Amino acid sequence: MSNNISENAPLILFCYNRLETLKKVISSLQSDHQIENTDIFIFSDGPKNESALDNSRVENVRNYLHSLEKFSKSVKIFEHKKNLGLANSIIYGINEVSAQNESFIVLEDDLQVSPYFLTYMNKSLKKYSDEKRVWTVNGMGFNPKSFNVPKDYKYDTYFTYRNSSHGWGSWSDRWNKAILDTSVLKSEISEINNQLNFNKGGADLTPMLVNQIEGNIDSWSVRWGYTISKNNGICISPIYSYVTLIFDEGTHVKGYVDFLDNNLDLSKSITTYPEEIEVVVEIAREAARVFKDKTPLLLEKNINQKSYYRKYLKRKSLLEENNDPKSYYRKYLKRKSLNSTNNYLTKIYRNENKWIKFLKAPTKEKLKIINKKLYRK
């Protein structure tokens, strides 16, 4: 099933037990102008437990898949006997397909696509195949009512630091470098410079990765995103989205509904690209804002990290009197995993007198203490 870069990339579709949303995904794909020239690989995850309800839902999904009349170049269905979970299922499927293909496109069972989705994805994958700084083609754009692009920006696409998990594509030579081992990631993200670089795409990224490392979430995307950041990679995204979410009880990004609920009628059959492979600062700031980034975006090369974290602490109001510093720092240690701060504040916890002294100290003194421990060389 090898594809060269002149052919259409294979489409990998992941599903579990959501029949009605899957039907909407398939229906949208059937209207895509390039679907007849596309090989599809469908990975159906197994039931999570022995409950009759879950088994029945998974069986209904598979019966539906096997009942479909041919609408693409080919369809191959993989059925897992046991539940791999979202992240493992996707990693397994991409590994299987990318091992024999130069590029690939990924969809999940809660994503509807524009009739021009595959046209855009394949055009972008071919265009940037040899541009090794570009790691991902994002199919999802933001709702233009909530995402403000500079009025003088003349292209249909832009470069961004952040990958999207909602309809995307990449190349096997990039995917082969994915950092998926949590022990490696734990060591990597403890470095402040790595955090700063990763957070160019949004201040939520480092906490999300820490949650993944600690087993609180099951995400392949944040690990892939960190890989891109570690390699100083960027992603290409459309101004007008080729993908929209189907919001149901299984959707895990409902907090971003205003940004991700897109009108696919706005997507274009002809796409224009920036002349330079560079991130536009104004657009990068706007993209980071979507994901609740309240801190300065770190785009300057000669940034003063110590100054940044001092401002970060002040902007977040983490040391104000109306907060509970002890509660905050307990969460801070758990989520941020900054080793030097961790060791220092852990000692404070163990010594009640030191902790009380710290709490009573003026805000300026608290900042001084923290910064001294954060940035000692």
Q: What is the pLDDT of residues 129-166, one digit of tens each?
A: 999 999 999 999 988 777 888 889 999 999 999 999 99
Residue type at position 112:
Q
Residue count of the chain: 377
Residue 373 reports pLDDT greater than 70: no
Say if residue 241 is in the same domain as residue 335.
no
Q: Are residues 167 and 193 in the same domain?
A: yes
Flag whether pLDDT at 174 surpasses 80.
yes
Neighbours of 40 (CB within 10 A): 21
Residue 188, token pair as written in the block:
């990597």
For residue 149, the enclosing domain spans: 11-290
11 closest CA partner among 141, 34, 222, 270: 34
Residues 326 and 267 in one domain: no
Q: Is residue 299 part of a domain?
A: no
CA distance readout (Å), 278 to 119, 200, 201, 283, 284: 23, 14, 14, 11, 10
Residues 276 and 309 grouped into a single domain: no
Q: What pLDDT, on a 0 to 100 scale, did the predictor assign at position 289? A: 74
89 within some domain: yes
Question: Mean pLDDT, to the nearest integer, of 300-309?
Answer: 43
Q: Which pLDDT value is given to residue 166?
A: 93
Q: Which of 71, 173, 96 is closest to 129 using CA atoms?
A: 173
The structure tokens listed for 370 are: 């923290």
With pLDDT > 90 as the criterion, what percentage of the chain qualifies?
Answer: 54
pLDDT of residue 179: 97
Judge if 149 and 215 occupy the same domain. Answer: yes
Question: What's residue 9's pLDDT?
Answer: 98
Residue 333 has a pLDDT of 47
Does a structural domain hold residue 296?
Answer: no
Residue 205 maps to a domain: yes
* pLDDT on residue 355: 58
Let me know whether 319 and 228 are in one domain: no
Angle subtended at Cα 14 by Cα 226 and Cα 19, rounded to the nearest 5 degrees: 135
Tell which of 290, 313, 332 closes a domain.
290
Residue pLDDT, tens place only, 71-106: 999 999 999 999 999 999 999 999 999 999 999 999
Q: Across all residues in the chain, what is the average pLDDT?
A: 81
User: How many helical (H) and strand (E) elements, i.e. helices and strands, does the chain have?
Assistant: 16, 10
Q: What is the pLDDT of residues 219-232, one digit of tens each?
A: 999 999 999 999 99
* CA–CA distances in Å: residue 160 to residues 4, 104, 197: 26, 20, 13
Q: How many domains does the chain have?
A: 2
- The last residue of a domain, from among 290, 324, 357: 290
Task: Examine the domain organization and report whether 220 and 339 are in the same domain.
Answer: no
The answer on 311 and 283 residing in a single domain is: no
Tokens 């933001």 map to which residue?
A: 142
Please check the confidence at residue 361 and state whether its pLDDT lies above 80. Answer: no
In the predicted structure, residue 59 carries a pLDDT above the cut 60: yes
180 in any annotated domain: yes
Of 163, 156, 160, 155, residue with least CA distance to 120: 156
Asked if 188 and 272 count as a contact pair (C-beta separation under 8 A), the reply is no
State whether 183 and 86 are in the same domain.
yes
